[in-house]
Amino acid sequence: MASILSERTKILMIKVASYNIHKAIGTDRRRNPGRIIDVLNEIDADVIALQEADRRFGARAAAIPEKLLEMQSDYRAIPLDVQIDSMGWHGNAILVKKSVEVLGHDIMHIPCLEPRGAIMAHFQINGQPLAVFGMHLDLSGLWRRRQAAAIVKLAQDKEQDVPVVLMGDLNEWSAARGCLKDFTRAFEIVDCGRSFHSRNPIATLDRIMHSSSIRSSSAGVHDSPTARKASDHLPVWANIIVDTVQDA
């Protein structure tokens, strides 16, 4: 994270990322949360939205044990106060660096055919407020569009008070149609690149979007030897800039 000061304006650069961790099951079909943590440390973002962060069956326990995350990284999961053993809500979780001040969080019920949800967290990073929405949308195109419409409305309401970033696995294979049309009516989509499948990326399923008060300076797909094995998705990232005018 970097800050550049001018006479009247503070330019704050924040790194955000989104990562479908596939319940910590890698391309070798082994569950290894330590590899996921290694990838998180490689990304070194201020805020990371996770998808498939909880196991699928039973108590839906977190795919990454809390103690392991605490001991091996500088990240902590936003407490969503929903399920005791889970990290997220319907698999969605948000991680932040331990230095980030969390101001609030919420879970969102969205239209769904299969269990789906979205989450939001409100932070302050070096004095700059920011709201992040994390999501994992449906496999059905019809339900994706319904979910996108619901999330856009919630994000626009939040945008009146604070800059907004939206991140997640949209499950949208088209380049500019489907739910992407709904999101682009209100938010800008960052060109990160192809993230699925991690062994041979052919699809841009994982997306980062933001409000007009934010601009992205750089973005990409985190493609490392560990990331290719840790999950079937590669993480996507963006360095975003929020300009704030200083007092005279």
Q: What stretches in the chain show pLDDT beneath 70? A: 1-10, 56-59, 83-84, 243-248
Buried b (16+ CB within 10 A) or exposed e, 143-164: bbbbbbebbbebbeebbeebbb
Closest CA to 15 of 41, 52, 38: 41
pLDDT at 11: 75
Distance CA 42, CA 55 (A): 23
The residue with tokens 């919420």 is 106
Is the CB of residue 142 less than 8 Å from the CB of residue 152? Answer: no
Q: Is 28 helix (H, G, I), strand (E, B) or coil?
A: coil
Domain boundaries, the chain: 2-245
Closest CA to 19 of 59, 63, 57, 61: 63
Distance CA 238, CA 79 (A): 24
| Class for the domain spanning 2-245 | alpha beta
Plot region of 224 (φ>0 → left; ψ -120 to 50 → alpha; else → beta): beta
Secondary structure (H, E, C), 148-184: HHHHHHHHHHHHCCCCEEEEEECCCCCCCCCHHHHHH
Q: What is the pTM of this model?
A: 0.92
Query: What tens digit of pLDDT does each residue of 33-91 get?
Result: 999 999 999 999 999 999 999 976 556 789 999 999 999 999 999 998 776 678 888 99
